[in-house]
Amino acid sequence: MAASGLRSYIIRRLLLLVPVLLGATLLIFAVSQMFSPVERASLYVRDPKQLRNIDEIIKKYHLDDPFFIQFSHWLAEVLKGNLGWSKSVNMPVARAIVEFLPATAELVLYAAPLIIFLGIKMGVLSATHRDTPLDHATRTLAIIGWSLPSFWLGIVLLAVFYGVFGLFPPGRLSVEASIYVNSPNFIRYTKLNTIDALLNGQFWIFVDALKHLVLPVATLVIINIALLMRITRSSMLEEMSKLYVMMARAKGLDDKVVVNKHVQRNALISALTVSGLLTASLLCGVVITETVFNYHGIGYWAVHAAIQLDIPAVLGFTLFSALIFVAANLIVDIMYAYVDPRIKLG
């Protein structure tokens, strides 16, 4: 019965994705209407040579026709994987996303678990030690971290650790490691440098890539940990004030058992939502952090595309971001059902 309830819950959530995605694509395409048909022609090409025949493209894809006719042709191209040509990197938008996403994914791979673990852990400690020096210290650290501009923190970390001590350089790899990675001797399985280095048995490249990840990961953790900590703390305090907790304590249950088995499980619902959306936002590119550390991820590409008014790239990036957030919400909804079985009945 429980399995069938979970199955129907997941099916309902999957069906809801269709109108949400359709609405997102409709809104994204509506923004493109601010540009002329000539400027929008690059949304439909896979090779810049095709742009020599602008009039044919405008006619073929009905760029002078009513909105919904244009939208149907654009959506058909998107479903075929054609997101247009990105002039900022001189390649198709779909290929650009594939090229730049692994760098950001690698950043998230190391930053997100640390943010989630430390944020929840600090929130729980702060709540269970309410109004103690530990509570005040964790809250102060969280406020300081949340208040620091990411570009300022990134520059300070670079100035101290790389400028003064010569540690943790910017970029993704050193020149020597980059040459080896791009040679025929190195097989790119995932395009994540640390993972591929281990799969190729090149531990020195793994260490090199890890050194380049330290500062951007530290910046993301320091900046983002505060929100999750505060959400977890407030959820824990709310749960700890409820009647079932008081009754459990009155029955003589150990306080650690009450907190770990009951309070944390219920308080995790809010933390789960924030964690999912936070991971999605990181995957969509951390523009400032990637720019400061010269880390060529998807956010770095998106900001340079926007500066150069690369319309297909900006729309492709926006569409990708919408897809990531919709997928993140679906995953969070499914995890809800495991954390709190009562949700399946809603």
Query: Residue 89 and residue 56: Cα distance in Å, rounded?
Result: 25
Q: How do residues 111-131 score in pLDDT, each as one tens digit?
A: 999 999 999 888 888 888 888
Query: Residue 160 and residue 253: Cα distance in Å, rounded?
Result: 50
64 pLDDT band, cuts 50/70/90, is confident
Evaluate if residue 106 carries a pLDDT over 90.
Answer: yes
Structure tokens at 171: 């970029």
pTM for the structure as a whole: 0.86
Q: How do residues 39-57 score in pLDDT, each as one tens digit?
A: 888 888 777 777 778 888 8
Give the model's pLDDT for residue 51.
76
Average pLDDT over residues 165-169: 90
Query: Residue 312 and residue 296: Cα distance in Å, rounded?
Result: 19
What percentage of residues in the chain have a pLDDT greater than 90?
29
In the chain, beta strands by DSSP E: 85-86, 91-92
- Residue with the two structure tokens 């994540």: 192
Give the model's pLDDT for residue 1.
42
Determine the 3-state secondary structure of 158 from DSSP. Answer: helix
